[in-house]
Structure 1
Amino acid sequence: MIVQKAYEDLYTKLKSYYIKEQSNEDLEYQTLLAAFSCKKYQECLFLAQDLLVSRPKREVFIVILNLCINHLNLGEMALHYSSLALETLPQDDIILCARGVCCLYNANLSLYQQTKTKLLEEAKEHFDNTGSTGQNVLFFKAITYVQLGKINEAMNFVMEGLRITINYKYTALGALILAGQEDFTGALSLIKRGLQACPCNILLYTVKVYCKFLMYEYTHDKIKVKKSIKRLIKMYKDNTEDSGSSRTGVIKEEGSNVDSEYFDDVFKDFEVKDSESLQQVLKFTFKIAVEIEDLVLAEKIYLRIKENRIENAILMYFRNQKSEELENFVEDLWVCEVLGQAKYDMGDKNTAISICKQAIRLNENSKKAWMLLGKIYKEQNLLEDSMEAYLKALKALPINFAIVPIILQDF
């Protein structure tokens, strides 16, 4: 708080000087840096945009792109200014990387696969063209390559990154890739090593929960998955409640029986926080709770989610078998996958096919949508279409990239 107050005082003084002497570029740059330091991001953006007219230099572009992506969520604006930066400084390695990051960021926001793929291809081109081999570049290259289905190349970037740094994000991404290849032993082993280097790291625990959930599809061990969910929610909750503290939220392992009361201590005195990370992890764990068919736990988590209209529709379907609410959210991939299965179970195969195709438009790597299409086509004796759908399902990445924004946000 003392440091924050000092930054605010500095910004107030510099701003008063700048108002009197607006033609001084150096003073304006110092003022916008002070605005950034005291978290007045919108004011900082206005100053940077104004300064860019007379001073189109790398450092000003980087401030604008940083604001757009990391603080103001202005993806389209980031694309615009990164394009302008590239026109101004076409050979600058840092600008090339920044443009790649902007494309990657917008790709992960895009609802449609065609747009997503186009942005990922452009990001790949910029990362490949840069002469920089820093750890940040390797990380973003790995994320880009894996989403383009270039698994081996992506894993090579991850391992190269791990050789030069102990950055836990490489561990998290490497574990996701291995889990996507169904190498759960390798994924959990990598996470274990990562936790030895970065004890109680929340991102690694998030990926660990996801890996255990994927393993559940093979082992059907709900208890381990639910234990992991409890630990993860508690860690996020504790860190949100006391962000200035070094608390890690680590809890002791419980007994073998895990029922709904097991989570009462986690949700005791639980207030919904503004933390975006906490809300993300609640949505993430809600989905896993539904997938392991624990609706009691799912409802406990649902009550703590702020924007929970989609979760409400999902619960209504699984509680009452009513799919009407789901139809309001067909822009969401998970809803499409659930709704497609619901329509199939109701005997409405034509609608199920349409919903599956919508899911594939949202993400061509929707394994569940391809599997259901293959099943329906087989029942309709469309054997060639069925085989093609099953092959697409085999090629689909079983990696849940809902986790990728968590990795990007925390970068």
Structure 2
Amino acid sequence: MPLQRLERLSEIAPHTWDALVPETQPFLRHAFLSSLEDSGSLGPHSGWQPEHLLHVEGDRLIAALPSYRKWHSYGEYVFDHAWAEACERAGIDYYPKLLTAVPFSPVSGPRLLAATIEDGFELLQSLPGYLEIEGLSSAHINFTDPFTDAALAGQPGWLQRIGCQYHWQNRGYRDFQDFLDALSSRKRKQMRKEREQVAGQGIDFEWLEGRQLDQAQWDFVYACYANTYAVRRQAPYLTREFFSLLAERMPESIRVVLAKQGSRPVAMAFSLVGGDSFYGRYWGCLAEFDRLHFETCFYQGMDYAIANGFQRFDAGAQGEHKLIRGFEPVITHSWHYLRHPGLKSAVKDFLERERVGVMGYAEEAKTALPYRQG
């Protein structure tokens, strides 16, 4: 089956693409991915060249892989830098490679977009030949859901990798105090003290949906977001225009909390919602305040999730400090197809050892959770 390739998502109608995307998944929607492209956040200059692969029969879209041709491994959160470095030492070309993922967002969800696994099989079976024709070293499908896992498990040559994130689960809490009551006394006191420290600095919070922010407020949101990169002397992945386009195209999915000292905004956290899940994405502040990060990024999100009936709070990748605040270890999955036989063999051995370590870590991490025992 010859694959069809889109180099811009604008080449396909939003309703055609979104027909394959679950309504609960905001990150795969045409509005989100096209905003990345149309804002200049993606493109050859960034090392992320859109290369969406489609299986089309007649005028009907059967299956799709939202994909990108990559010349580096930044912004992926499934780290293969060591594989690339090994290839460089051995004189093997690792880039360009093909990545199926949500750019800059380590959020698990659908990657093979199809109504049934059978609908997606032909597309997956065509990938190895496509890689060879295009001179791509490998294909990587990051942060997959069970549907995509099941489809890839039946395909030869793919290697599965696991990782660990931390998600908070809303167990029917009536309010934040109800959540605190589920914790050990020491942890409960620690969280209450952290929140009191923020309140004691005269900081209040305002929640806004996408349609409620004006351009001046979006300027502030972007300034905060960009500052998190500036302090590390890095360039931000996203452009200012991305936020305006997203607010125009899918405002109903956007949530922003502004931290204010008096009438002056000093920090923000930007999130998306979909189905029963609340996704914390970007944060930033323009001044230093004690414990403000924990309050803005975690406790405010928990409060909002409880008040609005969200069952899961995904606050992003990494961060062991989330454990003591009630975020539980969750295993994530990615899949990798490597054309070079020597590289594939070495990575296969590595992933088997890594898997044992990750599973052991996830079990050990549970001992740091703050919940009462018994």
Q: What TM-score, normalized to structure 2? A: 0.27
Structure with greater proportional helix content: 1
Structure with greater proportional strand content: 2
Q: What TM-score, normalized to structure 1? A: 0.25
Question: With CA pairs under 8 Å and 6+ residues apart, which has the higher RCO, 1 or 2?
Answer: 2
